Amino acid sequence: MKADPEFIPDAGVHVCEAFIRVRFHEVDALGHVNNAAYLNYLEQAAIDHAVLLGLDLERLRRLGGVFVARRHEVIFLRQAYAGDVLRIVTWLGEPRGARVERRYLVYRVAETMGELPVGGRLLGAHDLAAEEEIVVRGRTEWVFTSEQGKPRRIPPEVALAFRPDGRAAESLPEVYRGNR
């Protein structure tokens, strides 16, 4: 199954890939990965992505907030089983105020891949392999909130960290140019 054009990242964004080997306790009575386990996989890939870009929880707090999930959409295309290696590819869309949408593609990986990286790694949009078997497509709407849980505009430093092209703040939409 080829990637939906809506699920192809723009060339100007950091794309992250993370790997998960499906564990036996994540499999349901039908013998395939329990649907709820995918939310854990997607969240861990998002965390790995942020950490790779220097936006761990401590830094986000210093910048005035943290991200919380507002909505998830997971589209199950194929089944995965215990022992399968899954490659989760994730990237962010353009921020809008306090919100940003993160997209995910989950692929089944051939066992011949060798040693898997721990903690994910960055790659370019051109590194997505269209011939791999897509198991899941997903998206999450994340909201940047203060420690008290109030939504607040995503700081420009955070928005820019996810752009590999190093766009200056002037190239971000006006609402992200330091106006809070």
Q: Which domains does the chain have, with CATH numbers?
A: 5-166 (3.10.129.10)
Per-residue pLDDT of the chain (180 residues; tens, 9 = 90+): 455 666 676 666 778 899 999 999 999 999 999 999 999 999 999 999 999 888 999 999 999 999 999 999 999 999 999 999 999 999 988 889 999 999 999 999 876 566 766 677 677 655 565 557 899 999 999 999 998 999 999 999 898 887 755 543 344 444 333 333
- In eight-state DSSP terms, residue 27 is B
Structure tokens at 102: 């993160």
| Integer Cα distance of 56 and 54 in angstroms | 6
Q: Please state the pTM of the whole predicted model.
A: 0.82
